Amino acid sequence: MRSAGWFARCMTAFVVVCMLVPLLVVIAASFNDSSEVVFPPKGFSLKWYANVFERERFLKSFQFSLLLAVIATLLSLAIGLLCAIALVRYSFTGRDAVSTFLNSPLMVPQVVLGMALLILLSQVGLVSSLLGLGLLHVILTLPYTVRVLSAALVRFPVSLEEAAVIHGANRLSAFMLVTIPCIKPGLVAAAIFAFVTSFDNFTASQFLVWDRTTLPVEIFAYAVTETDPTVCAISTLLIIATIVVVVFAERSVGLETVTE
Amino acid sequence: MTVPAASSQAVRLDRVTVHYREIVAVQNVSLTLAAGEILALLGPSGCGKTTLLRSIAGFVPHSGEIHVGGKPMARVASHRRNIGMVFQDYALFPHMTVAQNVGFGLKMRGLSRAAIVSQVGEMLALVGLEGFQERMVRQLSGGQQQRVALARALVIKPALLLLDEPLSALDKKLREEMRGELKRIQRLTGVTTIFVTHDQDEALALADRLALMHRGTLLQFGGPEEVYRRPAGHFVAEFLGAANRASAACREVGPDFTLLELPGAGLIKTAIRPAEVSVGQSVVLYVRPEQIRVTSEDVRDQGQGLPATLVGRTYLGRHRELTLRLRNGAHWMAHVADDDALSKLKIGATVVLQTDPARVIVFGDAEDGASQGRPAPVSPA
């Protein structure tokens, strides 16, 4: 590859700065000593971090978000894997339509999706339930899991599964012993996408929360009434958590092989 | 090692037909194979040979019957057929070591860890990979991967070994080496083997039986020599060993031989029996390049020999390939020994081509060209 020219370098630097600056501002502001969010920060204090851990609602919504994200990720991986197998290995009428439909949650505005589910779930009496919110998060994460797992399956030679079968494994054993280990990087990448998408979601989720809320909804609720840097502290914690997860995944399976 | 099955018919295919939607990929293929034999499924790409192999493995739904080791396979799932298979891309499990790859089938059969370790060790020794147990597959060369794939297929003591284009991924030198290895290991284990190839040299060198396929049908099934010497049709004659082809008319029918006239080129003597051809009948004949003797003497008065002009000469190491122009303008190829005095012949020299009458392949002219059908072969005496 040709090395980048000065213009390309400048543009890259500009974009990176634009992406990083808001994060750096939030991180810096979280250490404010004043009770206002100001940048550059006045003084240095960890009291907003202490505030995060003192507020039970943050902790509870964090636990709830975690539970929700784990459930949504597992379901999304299972359903997404089956969808991906159907899309990659078989040709059937309406295959393209199914593929587009599975991607549609990316295109439908989340406000619409949240409203629609609220109306639907209230009809069947499932509003204000983990089930309803879980359903929403599976829908939201499915485009990512289907896409990443499809890419992984396309690269997986079916002959490997056939080799397992002809030498004595039944279909399920062949799948579990050969296919799953071979597409592991794809599974990990899909899981990360699904987890982050679920854990992060605010727009659609706010329609379906009740007295138990998810962390993003809780942060928003806090920011509506309070103006102190607590939200900056909690954001900083989330940034650190994300970095830890991504680095761990990178170390264990090598993400560049699946996201290229 | 595996003792060849007692049954003399290790494999029997009976009218096997495979449809892919509207396309007939394999049509009415019937053949039998004795225990310990090697069968080559030979044909151009798309002839259905791989599909036939895959239907024996149970990967492709088909009609007709497949028997392996005397047992019908219709209701037997792939993983219970006790078949070993080497895939074109080897299909080694990348997340497993060599030992885990080879031992996979034994593990699926519920053998003890100790038994697996010892049998894997034996099999790796047989394929010449002693001590490779803990290597990862990606650390191996193409030839080594091939050996691992072969070991994995053989360690389960299969009733049948299937090989899908086993040597196509290797370079020429390695291919010839592995060809010998394959034959050695097959003879040692005595396993009945079916392999798919589009390479006629490979098929002739390895096979005890040869099945030549074209457009889904089995054109000819027999020993390599039989198929090579007495092809069952135009397609087989042309596919198996480049052959010089000419239209001719029957001029004279004698008790021992028949004289055919190539219009504008001369007479050629063949060993067809008088009953099979009549004077005046038009035929198509094939002469293989290595069956042509090229001389500078004039032997036409003996009623045989085609005059020709030497127009090209290519040195191929083992032999020289001569391009010769007949009197009627047709170009024929002849392979002659390298040390032949003919190598001194100048381009443009006039020569005479002679052939062994018994080795001229003659068909009635009913069907023309490289057709898939079986024109009634007029077999030489």
Same domain? For B217 and B357 the reply is: no
Tokens 């080799």 locate to A163
B104–A169 CB contact, under 8 Å: yes
A159–B105 CB contact, under 8 Å: no
Chain A interface test: which of B86, B104, B154 (most A C-beta within 10 Å): B104
The letter for the amino acid at A71 is I
Q: Give the whole-angstrom CA distance, residue A161 versus residue A173.
A: 9
- What are the two backbone dihedrals, phi and then psi, of residue A27, each rounded to the nearest 5 degrees? -65, -45
Chain A interface test: which of B50, B55, B106, B108 (most A C-beta within 10 Å): B108
- Per the CB < 8 A criterion, the answer to whether A121 and A136 are in contact is no
Query: How distant is the Cα of A167 from the closest Cα of chain B, in angstroms?
Result: 5
Same domain? For B156 and B33 the reply is: yes
Summarised one tens digit per residue, pLDDT across range A143-188 is 999 999 999 999 999 999 999 999 999 999 999 999 999 999 899 9
CB-CB neighbors (< 8 A) of A160 in chain B: 91, 93-94
Q: Under DSSP, is residue B250 helix (H, G, I), strand (E, B) or coil?
A: strand
Same domain? For B210 and B76 the reply is: yes
The secondary structure element, H or E, covering residue A59 is: helix A56-89
Q: Is the model's pLDDT at B381 over the cut of 90?
A: no
Cα B380 → chain centroid: 22
Token code pair at residue B47? 């002839």
Tokens 């295919």 locate to B13
Q: Give the whole-angstrom CA distance, residue B178 versus residue B206.
A: 11
Does B96 reside within a domain? yes
Same domain? For B256 and B210 the reply is: no
Cβ neighbours around A254 below 10 Å, total: 12
Among residues B174, B205, B236, which one ends one of the domains?
A: B236
Q: Is the model's pLDDT at A230 over the cut of 50?
A: yes
Name the A residues in 176-235 with CB < 8 Å from any B CB: 178, 181-182, 184
Domains of chain A and any CATH numbers: 57-259 (1.10.3720.10)
Does B102 reside within a domain? yes
Token code pair at residue B336? 């002659």
B88–A159 CB contact, under 8 Å: yes
Chain A interface test: which of B68, B87, B106 (most A C-beta within 10 Å): B87
Query: How distant is the Cα of B34 from the closest Cα of chain A, in angstroms?
Result: 22
A168–B77 CB contact, under 8 Å: no
Does B370 reside within a domain? no
Same domain? For B51 and B168 the reply is: yes
Cα A87 to Cα A147, A153, A179, A198: the distances in Å are 10, 10, 16, 24
Q: In which band, very low, low, confident or very high, does the pLDDT at B366 lie, cut at 50, 70 and 90?
A: low
Same domain? For B257 and B214 the reply is: no
pLDDT, residue A63, reads: 93
CB-CB neighbors (< 8 A) of A165 in chain B: 78-79
Among residues B210, B236, B262, which one ends one of the domains?
A: B236
pLDDT, residue B104, reads: 97
Report chain B's mean pLDDT, rounded to a whole number: 85
- What are the two backbone dihedrals, phi and then psi, of residue B33, each rounded to the nearest 5 degrees? -135, 130
Same domain? For B48 and B120 the reply is: yes
pLDDT, residue A195, reads: 93
Same domain? For B91 and B223 the reply is: yes
Same domain? For B224 and B352 the reply is: no
Same domain? For B53 and B128 the reply is: yes
pLDDT, residue B124, reads: 95
Does B369 reside within a domain? no
Does B60 reside within a domain? yes
Identify the domain containing residue B328 by its residue range.
242-363
Mean pLDDT, to the nearest integer, of B34-49? 92
pLDDT, residue B164, reads: 94
Residue B187's CATH number? 3.40.50.300
Does B1 reside within a domain? no
Query: How distant is the Cα of B109 from the closest Cα of chain A, in angstroms?
Result: 7
Same domain? For B208 and B258 the reply is: no
Residue B297's CATH number? 2.40.50.140
Summarised one tens digit per residue, pLDDT across range B326-358 is 888 888 988 888 766 666 778 888 888 888 888
pLDDT, residue B65, reads: 93
CB-CB neighbors (< 8 A) of B88 in chain A: 159
CB-CB neighbors (< 8 A) of B87 in chain A: 159, 162-163
B77–A170 CB contact, under 8 Å: yes
Query: How distant is the Cα of B79 from the closest Cα of chain A, in angstroms?
Result: 4
Q: Under DSSP, is residue A118 helix (H, G, I), strand (E, B) or coil?
A: helix
Cβ neighbours around A102 below 10 Å, total: 21
- Per the CB < 8 A criterion, the answer to whether B101 and B152 are in contact is yes
* B9-20 β-sheet, strand order: B23-34, B9-20, B63-68, B71-72
B108–A167 CB contact, under 8 Å: yes
- What are the two backbone dihedrals, phi and then psi, of residue B35, each rounded to the nearest 5 degrees? -60, 135
Summarised one tens digit per residue, pLDDT across range B163-191 is 999 888 788 888 888 888 899 999 999 99
Among residues B236, B260, B288, which one ends one of the domains?
A: B236
Does B282 reside within a domain? yes
pLDDT, residue B301, reads: 54
Helix ranges (DSSP H) in A30-55:
47-54
pLDDT, residue B2, reads: 45
The contacts of residue A121 (CB under 8 Å, 6+ apart) are A127, A129, A132, A135, A208
User: What DSSP line would sit under B213-238, residue for residue?
Assistant: EETTEEEEEE-HHHHHHS-SSHHHHH
CB-CB neighbors (< 8 A) of B108 in chain A: 167-169, 173
pLDDT, residue B340, reads: 61
Provide the percentage of residues in chain A whose pLDDT is more than 90: 60
A166–B79 CB contact, under 8 Å: yes
Least confident range of A112-116, B56-60, B286-290: B286-290
Does B80 reside within a domain? yes
Torsion of CA A179, A185, A189, A194, to 10 degrees: 30
Number of domains in chain B: 2
The DSSP bridge partners found for residue B261 are B249, B267
Same domain? For B254 and B346 the reply is: yes
CB-CB neighbors (< 8 A) of B76 in chain A: none
